[in-house]
Structure 1
Amino acid sequence: MRSAPRGARDFTPAAPPFGAAVAAAKAAGELVVQPRMGFPTGPAMRRGLEAVRDVPSRTVGTITLDSYTRVGDHGSARRALDNGESLNGYPLVAHGPTAARWLTAGLGGRHFAVQVRHGSSLPLDIFRVLLDSGLDATEGGPVSYCLPYSRTPLSRSVDAWARCCELLADRSPTAHLESFGGCLLGQLCPPGLLVAMAVLEGMFFEQHGLRDISLSYAQQTDFGQDVAAIAALRRLGGERLTRSSWHIVLYTYMGVFPRTEAGALALLRHSASLAARTGVERLIVKTPAEAHRIPTVEDNVRALEEAARSAADTDTTPPGETADDGVYEEARTLVDAVLDLHPDVGTALVKAFARGCLDVPYCLHADNAQRSRSYIDGDGRLRWLSVGAMPIRAAAPPRSSRLRADDLIDMLSHVQSTFDCAALAWA
């Protein structure tokens, strides 16, 4: 399938513009809540979209793609469909654009937009089919969908994402692209690096023609630190993103989820309160079922309703002076150091990782220096134990500056155990 030539105007939208839907909710003072669900067949995926649309809160729909499609193995996705095998998402390319248009046909409403979520480091086929399907909202990024999830060389991912951004911008005047940069690894990445990466990917999107974007941030281990991080993201984004409309999307904690229903619901409410407290425009939720199985439509609907209710009940009175926790300065230092390497953001990102100027802790990708490490301090905040060649400082090290395997396991389960133990204490 060949993409349309530059400047083509053949795009026919199948859903309202994504950015406009979020902007309308913001104008009404409402948080947009969004699931991450995806189902392999058209009827199941359509039922999920309809159920999300019918939630009595501001929602947007999601079509999450399957693992075969994420790695470009569309033949295996097609064979799985033919054989009646289960897939963990919707195989957009295998189904094709006609089937995808049916998913959103007649969903109705001026503000129910739909986003395609995929996880691919080389997503050109996905971008072509989603545009041919009348969809133009998706997410990812040249770093955030390369380092954690693939073995693709970073330079190849950067080139592919440049083409994808330009295709999206050329084909649709309302195209929306969300940077996943604030969700690197999902956990154990100190907020300064998350903020810097979201802003850098946003600048990359702008450089390649996009004018409607969003910046992500994943809930981490401490409410106060997350408040500071989101404030830093909004401030730094405002300084560096000068050619686009943009908003912030918060992710409910992406690491090991509480195993008790009470603990999981408490964590979900915690993220919704964080979103409301910081003025975040959109929240992507997780469900209590995710610690045990793939969530159903009903699981997702319940999570959306719970999150919207918790956000509405949150006191959003502006606080007094909020401690910055050093997140803004750290993020700005990293962004400046990267941009000093080359005027082209993509080239600068490749150089930054090659020199260790950016270094994601616990990320095993071959293009990552793997010299940085983080830890959770006694107050529950994420700190740098070592920074490698990054131009920032590590915190004062804990009593032992060497992490053992059981230390890492404890950190990975910190949020889970905190909320599960609290739930048991309340019972």
Structure 2
Amino acid sequence: MTGFGAFVAQARAAGALVVQPRMGMADPLRMRDGLLATRDAAAVTVGTLTLDSYTRTGDLAAARRALAEGVGLNGYPIATHSADVTRAVLRGVVDAGFPVQVRHGSAMPEHIVRALLAVGLDATEGGPVSYCLPYSRTPLHEAVACWQRSCELLASIREFGAEPHLETFGGCLMGQLCPPSLLIAVSVLEGLFFRQHGLRSISLSYAQQADLRQDEEALTVLGRLADELLPDVDRHIVLYAYMGVFPRSPGGARLLLEEAARLAVRTGAARLIVKTTAEAHRIPTVGENVTALETAAAAAADERARLRPAAPPPSTAVRVAGRDTGIEAEARALIGAVLELDTDVGRALVRAFAAGYLDVPYCLHPDNAGRARSSLGPDGRLSWSGVGSMPIAGLSGGRRPPILGSAELLTALSHVQRTYDARAAAGAVARSGGTTPETPRTPAARRELGLTSP
């Protein structure tokens, strides 16, 4: 097997965490330079083409006007640049030792899938739920139908010997303040949707939240359910560095990223989407992205070295022991309730949202019931303060916290920023009893792991 999933599997077998930036520039030369810098970073990396908002929403006429008038775009317009231009961007950069994924955010991605296939790429991400709620006002049933066509189109290239890869964004719904059981359920359900429509190489996402122990439990559950429900596909887990309000200090941002990398290693996630020290202020430069990739790789290597005497790296399932707070019971109940609605996973998802069996807190999409609410405790743990019609009442036990008011919600949204900026100011790195080893300053790390193309 070759392709994006095979590369990640090879890296995992060699004991390396694959790190990946969020990077997209409209200018082809700048995009090429960004990919080259990512490839040549002192880390095991994959590249990213993040698309612009016009392409995401299908307004290709606006994308063409912007290019013609020299108006800046916030990503790479893959469906507007000619296929020849994009092939030139990728030529001599992309190969078996450096795959590239197209990231987009579209609820209706068929035009994007056609464009990426036309230039020889075969990896992308999203999902019928996760890129419809909350990013779009597109009716959910329309998004499901378009994603079905997109999956089948992507899967069709398997007959030519390629192994396309699709990552669910389901574990990142709302980025924060969504309790882990719902993130896990949507991630697994979208994975089942992808498999039903022909994909055989997938990744399941989870976004780093505000409490380390809760994240460890959640990633353990996600790995276990993936092993159980998706045993016949190539799969891995991708962890996203925290997606909410990022620390304002460089030290706080670095601490948060390093913790994400260490969390990925401990829980068996194979790939990490990084964020930079500039996230709280502006769009990061290519250099800042490379620094983030190398910082994460160094932290991951340090964590692997720390764990090595105790046990070898986990294989596919995660192996973190910890207390059971009900995340697995809730996730299983949500998945089970959806799958009982229809044998077609897409129809089941539409019916589940109509019935309120799935309900994303603070999401204003018209097809979302909007009755579920979450709360963030003083320790950073996310919990349900209201479950609406979701079939999880009482499964996690304990008394539900009160529903957040506007002031409490704003405080919760900045919890991670305040926590990590305070840790940085207090010298948390020194108190932890260790320093981060210097990253090797050569791309030979990839060659030493056998990850270059023949």
Other-structure match for 1:171:
157
Other-structure match for 2:196:
207
Does structure 1 retain, via aligned residues, the 8 Å contact 2:217–2:320?
A: no
Does structure 2 retain, via aligned residues, the 8 Å contact 1:334–1:390?
A: yes
- Pair 1:34-2:20 in alignment: yes
Letter in 2 for 1:236: L
Give me the whole-angstrom Cα distance separating, in 1, the residues matched to 2:254 and 2:132.
Answer: 31
Root-mean-square deviation over aligned CA pairs: 1.4
- Looking at both structures, which has the greater relative contact order when contacts are Cα pairs under 8 Å and sequence separation is at least 6? 2
Other-structure match for 2:285:
296
Does structure 1 retain, via aligned residues, the 8 Å contact 2:220–2:320?
A: no
Other-structure match for 1:419:
420
Q: For 1:17-50, what per-residue CA distance to the aligned partner results, in whole angstroms no more than 9, with x for missing partners?
A: 1011101101111000000110011000000000
Give me the whole-angstrom Cα distance separating, in 1, the residues matched to 2:23 and 2:224.
Answer: 31
Does structure 2 retain, via aligned residues, the 8 Å contact 1:194–1:217?
A: yes
3-state secondary structure, aligned to 1:93: coil
3-state secondary structure, aligned to 1:338: helix
Q: For 1:203-224, what per-residue CA distance to the aligned partner results, in whole angstroms no more than 9, with x for missing partners?
A: 0000000000000000001111
Give me the whole-angstrom Cα distance separating, in 2, the residues matched to 1:380 and 1:397.
Answer: 17
Unaligned runs of 5+ in 2: 312-318, 429-454
The equivalent position to 2:6 in structure 1, one of 20, 23, 40, is: 20
3-state secondary structure, aligned to 1:305: helix
Other-structure match for 2:405:
404
Equivalent residues in 2 for 1:18-97, closer than 5 Å: 18-97=4-83
3-state secondary structure, aligned to 2:15: coil
Does structure 2 retain, via aligned residues, the 8 Å contact 1:182–1:194?
A: yes
* Deviation (angstroms), 1:111: 1.8
Equivalent residues in 2 for 1:304-323, closer than 5 Å: 304-314=293-303, 315-316=306-307, 317=310, 321-323=321-323
Does structure 2 retain, via aligned residues, the 8 Å contact 1:96–1:129?
A: no
Give me the whole-angstrom Cα distance separating, in 1, the residues matched to 2:364 and 2:419.
Answer: 27
Other-structure match for 1:8:
none
Other-structure match for 1:265:
254
Equivalent residues in 2 for 1:379-390, closer than 5 Å: 379-390=379-390
The equivalent position to 2:182 in structure 1, one of 193, 207, 214, is: 193
3-state secondary structure, aligned to 1:292: coil
Give me the whole-angstrom Cα distance separating, in 2, the residues matched to 1:208 and 1:118.
Answer: 20
- Pair 1:144-2:130 in alignment: yes
Other-structure match for 1:13:
none
Does structure 2 retain, via aligned residues, the 8 Å contact 1:257–1:290?
A: yes
Other-structure match for 1:236:
225
Give me the whole-angstrom Cα distance separating, in 1, the residues matched to 2:153 and 2:339.
Answer: 24
Distance 1:37-1:308 versus aligned 2 partners, 3 A rule: same
Give me the whole-angstrom Cα distance separating, in 2, the residues matched to 1:206 and 1:398.
Answer: 36
3-state secondary structure, aligned to 2:79: helix
3-state secondary structure, aligned to 2:19: strand
Does structure 1 retain, via aligned residues, the 8 Å contact 2:94–2:100?
A: no
Does structure 2 retain, via aligned residues, the 8 Å contact 1:206–1:243?
A: no
Other-structure match for 1:10:
none
Does structure 2 retain, via aligned residues, the 8 Å contact 1:20–1:111?
A: no
Other-structure match for 1:331:
331
Distance 1:47-1:273 versus aligned 2 partners, 3 A rule: same
Letter in 1 for 2:424: A
Identity of aligned residues (%): 59
Does structure 1 retain, via aligned residues, the 8 Å contact 2:181–2:331?
A: yes
Distance 1:335-1:95 versus aligned 2 partners, 3 A rule: same
Give me the whole-angstrom Cα distance separating, in 2, the residues matched to 1:330 and 1:207.
Answer: 24
- Once the two structures are overlaid, the 10-residue window that deviates more, 370-379 or 101-110, is 101-110
Letter in 2 for 1:64: T
Give me the whole-angstrom Cα distance separating, in 1, the residues matched to 2:19 and 2:403.
Answer: 40
Does structure 1 retain, via aligned residues, the 8 Å contact 2:375–2:403?
A: no
Distance 1:320-1:272 versus aligned 2 partners, 3 A rule: closer
* Deviation (angstroms), 1:321: 3.7
Letter in 1 for 2:244: G
Unaligned runs of 5+ in 1: 1-15
Give me the whole-angstrom Cα distance separating, in 1, the residues matched to 2:3 and 2:321.
Answer: 36
* Deviation (angstroms), 1:424: 1.7
* Deviation (angstroms), 1:322: 1.7
State the TM-score, normalizing by the size of structure 1. 0.94
Give the count of matched residue pairs: 411
3-state secondary structure, aligned to 1:171: helix
Other-structure match for 2:437:
none
Give me the whole-angstrom Cα distance separating, in 2, the residues matched to 1:175 and 1:197.
Answer: 21
Distance 1:305-1:392 versus aligned 2 partners, 3 A rule: same
